[in-house]
Amino acid sequence: MSTIAFLGTGLLGGAFAEAAAKRGDTVTAWNRSPDKVHALAQFGVMGAASPAEAVRNAARVHIVLKDDAVVEEVLAAARAGLSPDAIIIDHTTTLPTLTAARAERLHAEGVKYLHCPVFMGPPAARNAQGTMMVAGPRALFESVKADLATMTGRLAYMGERTDVAAVNKLFGNAMIIGVTAVMADVLTMAQASDVSAEDAIKLLGFIDLNAIVAGRGVNMAKGNYSPSFELTMARKDVRLMLETAGDRPMAVLPSVATRMDQLIAAGHGADDCCVLGIDAVQRQ
């Protein structure tokens, strides 16, 4: 079993610390709000008064914090207690450019650092489910691979480019947020049409989102706009959606309509609706 520290015990960090203690690891934790650490005492997690105290003697230091600024602040506060052999495992969702700069600086200072953002909520963290991505030196990853594998259902090493996991985390969250926003618009149309929200969401289960990504998504990435669902027809359907919703607020479809109108005016009306991504592909 390992001696590890957790800096940040919000919903996700607290779930990770709880699971680690239940696996038999020696776990010390710090959080800006001490009550969140005290709540973990029932699982055997020991509280610390400061980040430096929490990381003392820890072989691994897991950080699950709000953003880049807080990561920098907490790491600075922890350095006095950090063992030269300790490995920092950063699960925070951060800006890729700042992640790369932080990794370069820490590595130059002799600090072992891996960026390991996750796609999981607290229940998944407690039950070693979901996905954890890892970016950083391969040798460093290999040294903790077995330990990280106990924390997740899928462990994906993304490579030595230190910001690549941060970028992919934003890709995934964009999809989650985007799909959530579209579902909000679907529910708005359901309300306007006197269809129950539960029935509307049930219908969405008939749509294979993975097939859309594998088909239209791949075509979009390749710049292949051969039509199977022409943009003009898709725009007509979006008009029907907006007219169905009436004056109710919509999350994303009005912006989609505006972008479609711009592309149709530019001569792309006969292309597949995945031409919505044309500018992104052209910038590659």
Instruction: Please write the tens of the pLDDT for every residue from 226-259.
Output: 999 999 999 999 999 999 999 999 999 999 999 9
The first and second tokens of residue 259, run together, are 């972008």
Q: pLDDT value at position 20?
A: 97
User: Is a pLDDT exceeding 80 seen at residue 206?
Assistant: yes
Q: In this prediction, what percent of the chain has a pLDDT beyond 70?
A: 99
Average pLDDT over residues 199-220: 92
The letter for the amino acid at 168 is N
Average confidence (pLDDT) over 69-79: 97
Question: Please, what is the average pLDDT of the chain?
Answer: 96
Per-residue pLDDT tens for 120-165? 999 999 999 999 999 999 999 999 999 999 999 999 999 999 999 9
How high is the pLDDT of residue 282?
67
Helix ranges (DSSP H) in the chain: 11-23, 34-38, 51-55, 68-78, 96-108, 122-126, 138-149, 164-192, 197-204, 209-212, 218-222, 231-245, 253-265, 278-282
Supply the DSSP symbol for 214.
I
Residues 63 and 13: their CA atoms lie apart, in Å, by: 8
* Res. 108 pLDDT band, cuts 50 70 90: very high
Helix 164-192 and helix 231-245, axial crossing angle in degrees, nearest 10 = 60
Confidence band, pLDDT 50/70/90 cuts, at residue 61: very high
pLDDT value at residue 195: 97
The stretch 169-173 carries a mean pLDDT of 97
pLDDT at 284 over 70: no
Cα–Cα distance, 241 to 234 (Å, whole number):
11
pLDDT of residue 283: 59
Is the CB of residue 64 less than 8 Å from the CB of residue 12?
A: yes
